Chains A and B, each alone.
Chain A
Amino acid sequence: DAKTTQPNSMESNEEEPVHLPCNHSTISGTDYIHWYRQLPSQGPEYVIHGLTSNVNNRMASLAIAEDRKSSTLILHRATLRDAAVYYCILRLLQGAQKLVFGQGTRLTINP
Chain B
Amino acid sequence: GAVVSQHPSWVICKSGTSVKIECRSLDFQATTMFWYRQFPKQSLMLMATSNEGSKATYEQGVEKDKFLINHASLTLSTLTVTSAHPEDSSFYICSARGWGIEAFFGQGTRLTVV
Q: From A46, which residue of chain B is reached at the shortest CB distance?
A: B102
Known: A34-B102, A49-B102, A99-B103. A43 touches B46 (CB 8 A): no
Report if A94 contacts B (CB, 8 A): no
Q: In the assembly, what is the distance between CA of A100 and CA of B93, in Å?
A: 13
Among residues 35 to 80 in chain A, which have CB atoms less than 8 Å away from a CB atom of chain B? Answer: 36, 38, 41-46, 49
> Count of A residues near B, CB < 8 Å?
22
Q: Is the CB of B103 within 8 A of A46?
A: yes
Q: Is the CB of A99 within 8 A of B107?
A: no
Report if B64 contacts A (CB, 8 A): no
Can you give 13 contacting A-B residue pairs, CB < 8 Å? A43-B94, A43-B95, A43-B108, A45-B1, A45-B105, A46-B1, A46-B104, A49-B101, A96-B32, A96-B49, A97-B32, A98-B34, A101-B46
Report if B91 contacts A (CB, 8 A): yes
Q: From B44, which residue of chain A is reached at the shortest CB distance?
A: A101
Report if B110 contacts A (CB, 8 A): yes
Q: Is the CB of A41 within 8 A of B110?
A: yes
In-complex Cβ contact of B93 among A44, A46, A49, A98 (8 A)? A44
CB proximity of B35 to chain A, nearest CB, Å: 11
Q: Could you mark each residue 78-101 of chain A with 1 if its beta carbon is under 8 Å from any beta carbon of chain B, else 0?
A: 000000000100010000111111
Q: From B51, which residue of chain A is reached at the shortest CB distance?
A: A96
Q: Is the CB of B43 within 8 A of A42?
A: no
Q: In the assembly, what is the distance between CA of A15 and CA of B110, in Å?
A: 33
Q: In the assembly, what is the distance between CA of A51 and CA of B45, in Å?
A: 24
Q: Is the CB of A43 within 8 A of B93?
A: yes
Report if A13 contacts B (CB, 8 A): no
Q: Is the CB of A100 within 8 A of B108?
A: no
List residues of chain B with CB within 8 A of the CB of A101. 36, 43-46
Known: A32-B101, A96-B57, A97-B97. A44 touches B1 (CB 8 A): no
Q: In the assembly, what is the distance between CA of A41 and CA of B91, in Å?
A: 8
Interface centre among B1, B43, B104, B107 (most CB of A within 10 A): B43
